[in-house]
Amino acid sequence: MGHLIAPSLLSADFLRLEQEIGMVNRSEADWLHLDIMDGVFVPNISFGFPVLEKIKDRVKKPMDVHLMIVEPDRYIERFREAGAGIISVHIEACSHLHRTIGHIRGTGAKAGVALNPHTPVILLKDIITDLDMVLLMSVNPGFGGQKFIPRVCSKAAELKAMISESGSKALIEVDGGVDLSNARLLLDAGVDILVAGNTVFRSDDPEATISRLKRC
Protein backbone atom coordinates (compact mmCIF):
# COMPACT_ATOMS: atom_id res chain seq x y z
CA MET A 1 0.00 0.00 0.00
CA GLY A 2 1.26 3.44 -0.89
CA HIS A 3 1.05 6.36 1.49
CA LEU A 4 -2.20 8.19 2.10
CA ILE A 5 -3.00 11.90 1.83
CA ALA A 6 -5.50 13.51 4.20
CA PRO A 7 -6.23 17.19 3.44
CA SER A 8 -7.14 19.09 6.61
CA LEU A 9 -10.46 20.91 6.41
CA LEU A 10 -9.27 23.41 9.02
CA SER A 11 -7.40 25.24 6.24
CA ALA A 12 -10.32 25.31 3.81
CA ASP A 13 -12.30 28.41 2.84
CA PHE A 14 -15.42 28.06 5.00
CA LEU A 15 -17.35 30.42 2.73
CA ARG A 16 -16.81 27.85 -0.02
CA LEU A 17 -17.03 24.69 2.02
CA GLU A 18 -19.15 22.71 -0.43
CA GLN A 19 -16.76 23.50 -3.28
CA GLU A 20 -13.73 22.66 -1.14
CA ILE A 21 -15.22 19.27 -0.25
CA GLY A 22 -16.02 18.69 -3.91
CA MET A 23 -12.38 19.33 -4.75
CA VAL A 24 -11.25 16.76 -2.16
CA ASN A 25 -13.77 14.25 -3.54
CA ARG A 26 -12.43 14.67 -7.09
CA SER A 27 -8.80 14.57 -6.04
CA GLU A 28 -6.45 11.69 -5.26
CA ALA A 29 -6.83 12.36 -1.53
CA ASP A 30 -7.56 9.25 0.52
CA TRP A 31 -9.15 10.74 3.66
CA LEU A 32 -10.52 14.07 4.83
CA HIS A 33 -8.92 15.19 8.10
CA LEU A 34 -11.09 17.11 10.57
CA ASP A 35 -9.55 18.89 13.58
CA ILE A 36 -11.99 19.29 16.46
CA MET A 37 -10.81 21.88 19.01
CA ASP A 38 -12.59 22.84 22.20
CA GLY A 39 -10.68 25.92 23.39
CA VAL A 40 -9.65 24.03 26.54
CA PHE A 41 -7.24 21.28 25.51
CA VAL A 42 -5.88 23.65 22.84
CA PRO A 43 -6.13 27.46 22.73
CA ASN A 44 -8.50 27.56 19.78
CA ILE A 45 -12.04 26.54 18.80
CA SER A 46 -12.73 25.04 15.38
CA PHE A 47 -15.97 23.28 14.49
CA GLY A 48 -18.13 20.48 15.84
CA PHE A 49 -21.19 18.32 15.25
CA PRO A 50 -23.27 20.75 13.13
CA VAL A 51 -20.51 20.98 10.51
CA LEU A 52 -19.80 17.23 10.45
CA GLU A 53 -23.48 16.35 10.24
CA LYS A 54 -23.96 18.75 7.31
CA ILE A 55 -20.99 17.49 5.32
CA LYS A 56 -21.06 13.74 6.03
CA ASP A 57 -23.34 12.99 3.05
CA ARG A 58 -21.21 15.15 0.75
CA VAL A 59 -17.81 13.72 1.69
CA LYS A 60 -16.88 10.70 -0.42
CA LYS A 61 -13.67 9.93 1.47
CA PRO A 62 -13.33 8.48 5.00
CA MET A 63 -13.60 11.17 7.66
CA ASP A 64 -10.47 11.19 9.84
CA VAL A 65 -11.51 12.98 13.04
CA HIS A 66 -8.79 14.31 15.35
CA LEU A 67 -10.20 15.21 18.77
CA MET A 68 -8.19 17.95 20.44
CA ILE A 69 -10.60 18.08 23.36
CA VAL A 70 -10.83 17.21 27.03
CA GLU A 71 -13.04 14.29 28.11
CA PRO A 72 -13.29 12.79 24.60
CA ASP A 73 -15.20 9.73 25.87
CA ARG A 74 -18.28 11.90 26.34
CA TYR A 75 -18.56 12.52 22.60
CA ILE A 76 -17.25 9.42 20.82
CA GLU A 77 -20.67 8.01 19.87
CA ARG A 78 -21.80 11.40 18.56
CA PHE A 79 -18.73 11.79 16.37
CA ARG A 80 -19.26 8.30 15.01
CA GLU A 81 -22.91 9.13 14.27
CA ALA A 82 -21.75 12.35 12.60
CA GLY A 83 -19.71 10.35 10.11
CA ALA A 84 -16.28 9.75 11.66
CA GLY A 85 -14.58 6.66 10.26
CA ILE A 86 -11.35 7.18 12.17
CA ILE A 87 -11.31 8.81 15.62
CA SER A 88 -8.05 9.88 17.27
CA VAL A 89 -7.80 11.05 20.86
CA HIS A 90 -4.82 12.66 22.58
CA ILE A 91 -2.88 10.55 25.03
CA GLU A 92 -2.45 13.72 27.09
CA ALA A 93 -6.25 14.04 27.45
CA CYS A 94 -7.05 10.44 28.43
CA SER A 95 -6.70 9.13 31.97
CA HIS A 96 -7.78 5.63 30.92
CA LEU A 97 -6.48 5.29 27.38
CA HIS A 98 -7.09 1.57 26.97
CA ARG A 99 -10.75 2.06 27.91
CA THR A 100 -11.10 4.98 25.50
CA ILE A 101 -9.61 2.98 22.61
CA GLY A 102 -12.04 0.16 23.36
CA HIS A 103 -14.86 2.70 23.41
CA ILE A 104 -13.93 3.97 19.94
CA ARG A 105 -13.60 0.50 18.48
CA GLY A 106 -16.92 -0.46 20.03
CA THR A 107 -18.65 2.10 17.79
CA GLY A 108 -17.16 0.51 14.68
CA ALA A 109 -14.68 3.32 14.04
CA LYS A 110 -10.93 2.85 13.72
CA ALA A 111 -9.04 4.04 16.80
CA GLY A 112 -6.03 6.35 16.85
CA VAL A 113 -3.93 8.03 19.51
CA ALA A 114 -2.37 11.46 18.97
CA LEU A 115 0.86 12.63 20.61
CA ASN A 116 1.93 16.23 21.11
CA PRO A 117 5.49 17.11 20.06
CA HIS A 118 6.88 16.75 23.60
CA THR A 119 5.27 13.35 24.28
CA PRO A 120 7.56 10.32 23.81
CA VAL A 121 6.37 7.38 21.74
CA ILE A 122 7.53 4.91 24.39
CA LEU A 123 4.33 5.71 26.30
CA LEU A 124 2.45 3.71 23.66
CA LYS A 125 4.43 0.51 24.22
CA ASP A 126 1.71 -1.25 26.23
CA ILE A 127 -1.13 -0.27 23.92
CA ILE A 128 0.41 -0.20 20.43
CA THR A 129 -1.12 -3.53 19.39
CA ASP A 130 -4.61 -2.19 20.17
CA LEU A 131 -4.28 0.81 17.86
CA ASP A 132 -5.21 1.30 14.23
CA MET A 133 -3.21 4.52 13.97
CA VAL A 134 -0.83 6.84 15.80
CA LEU A 135 -0.97 10.54 14.97
CA LEU A 136 2.28 12.40 15.58
CA MET A 137 1.90 16.15 15.87
CA SER A 138 4.70 17.99 14.09
CA VAL A 139 3.52 21.36 15.45
CA ASN A 140 2.02 22.31 18.79
CA PRO A 141 -1.70 21.70 18.25
CA GLY A 142 -4.26 24.45 18.05
CA PHE A 143 -3.54 26.47 14.91
CA GLY A 144 -2.87 25.80 11.24
CA GLY A 145 0.07 27.21 9.33
CA GLN A 146 2.74 26.61 11.98
CA LYS A 147 6.38 25.74 11.33
CA PHE A 148 7.20 22.04 11.02
CA ILE A 149 9.21 20.50 13.90
CA PRO A 150 11.91 18.32 12.22
CA ARG A 151 12.36 16.11 15.31
CA VAL A 152 9.19 14.27 14.30
CA CYS A 153 11.15 12.37 11.62
CA SER A 154 13.30 10.55 14.18
CA LYS A 155 10.23 10.14 16.37
CA ALA A 156 8.39 8.47 13.48
CA ALA A 157 11.32 6.14 12.88
CA GLU A 158 11.34 5.18 16.56
CA LEU A 159 7.60 4.52 16.44
CA LYS A 160 7.93 2.47 13.24
CA ALA A 161 10.47 0.23 14.96
CA MET A 162 8.12 -0.23 17.92
CA ILE A 163 5.26 -1.15 15.60
CA SER A 164 7.39 -3.68 13.71
CA GLU A 165 8.77 -5.28 16.86
CA SER A 166 5.33 -5.62 18.46
CA GLY A 167 3.56 -6.97 15.40
CA SER A 168 1.10 -4.07 15.52
CA LYS A 169 -0.77 -3.08 12.34
CA ALA A 170 -0.97 0.58 13.38
CA LEU A 171 -0.40 3.20 10.72
CA ILE A 172 1.60 6.38 11.40
CA GLU A 173 0.04 9.75 10.55
CA VAL A 174 1.81 13.12 10.80
CA ASP A 175 0.02 16.45 11.06
CA GLY A 176 1.49 19.96 11.13
CA GLY A 177 3.56 21.88 8.62
CA VAL A 178 3.63 19.02 6.11
CA ASP A 179 4.56 20.20 2.63
CA LEU A 180 6.38 19.15 -0.52
CA SER A 181 9.78 19.92 1.04
CA ASN A 182 9.47 17.50 3.95
CA ALA A 183 6.99 14.87 2.74
CA ARG A 184 9.69 12.53 1.41
CA LEU A 185 11.65 12.77 4.68
CA LEU A 186 8.56 11.74 6.61
CA LEU A 187 7.78 8.85 4.29
CA ASP A 188 11.36 7.60 4.49
CA ALA A 189 11.03 7.64 8.30
CA GLY A 190 8.05 5.27 8.07
CA VAL A 191 5.06 7.61 7.96
CA ASP A 192 1.97 6.19 6.23
CA ILE A 193 -0.43 9.16 6.19
CA LEU A 194 0.37 12.81 5.48
CA VAL A 195 -2.06 15.44 6.74
CA ALA A 196 -1.75 18.64 4.72
CA GLY A 197 -3.72 21.81 5.36
CA ASN A 198 -2.33 25.09 4.06
CA THR A 199 -0.13 23.22 1.58
CA VAL A 200 -3.27 21.97 -0.16
CA PHE A 201 -5.97 24.57 0.37
CA ARG A 202 -3.77 27.65 -0.04
CA SER A 203 -2.11 26.41 -3.22
CA ASP A 204 -3.01 27.73 -6.68
CA ASP A 205 -4.08 24.23 -7.76
CA PRO A 206 -5.10 22.13 -4.74
CA GLU A 207 -5.88 18.99 -6.76
CA ALA A 208 -2.46 19.11 -8.42
CA THR A 209 -0.80 19.64 -5.04
CA ILE A 210 -2.56 16.58 -3.64
CA SER A 211 -1.36 14.63 -6.67
CA ARG A 212 2.22 15.79 -6.08
CA LEU A 213 2.06 14.80 -2.41
CA LYS A 214 0.69 11.41 -3.46
CA ARG A 215 3.70 10.88 -5.69
CA CYS A 216 6.43 11.98 -3.28
Positions annotated as catalytic residues are: 35, 175
What does each C-alpha distance from 22 to 71, 83, 106, 191, 205 come to in angstroms? 32, 17, 31, 27, 14
Residue 209: what are its φ and ψ, rounded to 5°?
A: -65, -40
Residue 94: what are its φ and ψ, rounded to 5°?
A: -115, 115
Q: Of the candidates 154, 157, 194, which has an alpha carbon nearest to the alpha carbon of residue 177?
A: 194
Is the Cα torsion angle 84, 56, 1, 188 positive or negative in sign? negative
Cα 160 to chain centroid distance, Å, stands at: 17
Q: How many angstroms separate the CA atoms of 32 and 34, rounded? A: 7
